[in-house]
Amino acid sequence: MTPTAATDTQQQLDTVFNALQSGQALLPDSPQNVMEVVGILKSYGIVLQAYAENLIYIADHQFLVLFPFFKYFNGEFSWGKLWRHWFHDRINFEYAEYCLRVMLWHGGGGLDAYLDSEEFVGLAKKAIAAKTADNPMMRLLNYLFPEFLPEVVRQWAYYSGLGQFWTVMYPIFLTLSDEYDAGRITTISQVVAHIRNGLVADASKPITYSVEIDGQTYDILPASAGLTFLMDTAVPYVEAIFLRGTPFFGTVSYNAQAQQISPEQSEFGYGALFADPLPTGAAGIPPTLVMQDMRHYLPDYLLKFYQQKNRGEDDLRVKICETFQKSMFCVTTAAITGLTPYPWDTTNSTEKEANGEFYQAWLQRLQTSQLITVQNT
């Protein structure tokens, strides 16, 4: 980066910092940005509802089914649905599984810590014993590889945890659209406030998970673990999906000698806020799936906006990704301002200074993301 470019970047970061200090957002306020963000979050809310319902179905009804061939059917199999599945005329539930596996791999938060606890191991073994009681092959597998099935149970816990997280999030996005349609949402600050209020309202919502085996209930994530929506699912989700992510095959070399991927997971910057929309829209890259899903539910006003831009619908997934990144900076703003050491709108100078240090740390983390790009689009 040239000295001039570095100076321009720092000036823009200072502008964003001042915006945060004054209660504004990481994304600049404009009627176009409001329209794009609300429209894409409406589409995303519809898709998230489908994702959440499927994850919870798998967690509750496919527990320790190692080859769940029909897990995407939510218990409602038909040949017509299978045909549509084969020809991809459906919601791409694989993206939801990609997200839960990224969360499982990166870890963080109380859910990750609990899944490494002795209490969880004990509960998992009880459920495994009940599930394999009438299955000699599964019992043999568990005997030969005693760590395998507990690890599978950890993954199933993330099916439920992520499903519960999205169950809270999708109504926030859908009601945001309703408020916009009614003329009550007109600024980016109002968008952020709506999302933040939803996060805070459910911050302490318990995250629990149990399965029923032969008529008996087995706890996997008991209420006594004290897991909650905000700190144990929302914050780890932001860290894993918005910030870290995973390197996309075909865009970087996985060869250790090439050293294109940091060996430290904490240094990963491949998440939704960092990804280049162009390779993100390429075939074989997981976020393409959610962009493909969202294109089916775009509000008419947003689709018309895309059609009027260069290339029309020819690069629709890329346009969706660019707008989606804008919306995720709004969600990130809601999370940041909801997690500040003191009330985000405090007028106390000492508290405001502490919040400022908190914001600066976040901006340092985000300076190599698409943050500067969205300031100018």
For every residue of 347-369, DSSP letters joined together read --HHHHHHHHHHHHHHHHHHTTT
- The pLDDT value given to residue 60: 95
Q: Is residue 53 part of a domain?
A: yes
- The pLDDT value given to residue 325: 94
- The pLDDT value given to residue 376: 81
C-alpha 89, offset from chain centre: 23
Please provide residue 213's backbone torsions phi and psi, each rounded to the nearest 5 degrees.
-130, 120
Query: In the predicted model, is pLDDT for residue 184 greater than 90?
Result: yes
Q: Is residue 235 part of a domain?
A: yes
Percent of the chain, pLDDT > 70? 98
Domain with 224, as residue range(s), is 31-338
Q: Is residue 353 part of a domain?
A: no
| Average pLDDT of span 121-140 | 95
How many structural domains compose the chain? 1
- The pLDDT value given to residue 4: 60
89 burial via Cβ count (<10 Å: 0-12, 13-18, 19+): exposed
- The pLDDT value given to residue 2: 59
Q: Per-residue confidence at 6, pLDDT binned at 50, 70, 90?
A: low
Question: Partners of 228 in the beta sheet?
Answer: 206
pLDDT in tens, 26-84: 999 999 999 999 999 999 999 999 999 999 999 999 999 999 888 999 988 888 888 88
pLDDT in tens, 240-282: 999 999 988 888 888 888 888 988 888 898 999 998 887 777 7
pLDDT in tens, 202-218: 999 999 999 999 999 99
Query: In the predicted model, is pLDDT for residue 195 greater than 80?
Result: yes
Q: Cα torsion for 7, 8, 12, 15, to the nearest 10°?
A: 70
Query: In the predicted model, is pLDDT for residue 356 greater than 80?
Result: yes
Rounded to whole angstroms, how far apart are CA atoms 366 and 377?
Answer: 17
Percent of the chain, pLDDT > 90? 68
Query: In the predicted model, is pLDDT for residue 335 greater than 60?
Result: yes
Q: Is residue 164 part of a domain?
A: yes
Query: In the predicted model, is pLDDT for residue 341 greater than 60?
Result: yes
Q: Is residue 252 part of a domain?
A: yes
Q: Per-residue confidence at 5, pLDDT binned at 50, 70, 90?
A: low
| Average pLDDT of span 177-202 | 95
Highest mean pLDDT among 110-114, 286-290, 315-319: 110-114
Q: Is residue 217 part of a domain?
A: yes
- The pLDDT value given to residue 3: 59
Q: How many residues in the chain?
A: 377
Strand, coil or helix: what is 112? helix
Rounded to whole angstroms, how far apart are CA atoms 99 and 309?
Answer: 31
Q: Is the distance from CB of 236 to CB of 102 less than 8 angstroms?
A: no
279 burial via Cβ count (<10 Å: 0-12, 13-18, 19+): middle
Q: Which has the higher per-residue pLDDT, 283 or 27?
A: 27
| Average pLDDT of span 296-320 | 90
- The pLDDT value given to residue 249: 82
Q: Is the distance from CB of 45 to CB of 174 less than 8 angstroms?
A: yes
* pTM of this prediction exceeds 0.85: yes
Q: Which has the higher per-residue pLDDT, 16 or 165?
A: 165
Rounded to whole angstroms, how far apart are CA atoms 136 and 141?
Answer: 9
Q: Is residue 4 part of a domain?
A: no
- The pLDDT value given to residue 266: 86
C-alpha 318, offset from chain centre: 19
DSSP letters spanning 248-310: PBTTB---TTTT-S-S-GGG---STTT--HHHHTSTT-THHHHHHHHHTT--HHHHHHHHTST
Residue holding tokens 């007109």? Answer: 186
- For 51-65, 177-191, 265-279, 321-335, which range has the lowest pLDDT when averaged over its residues? 265-279
Strand, coil or helix: what is 148? helix
Q: Is residue 359 part of a domain?
A: no
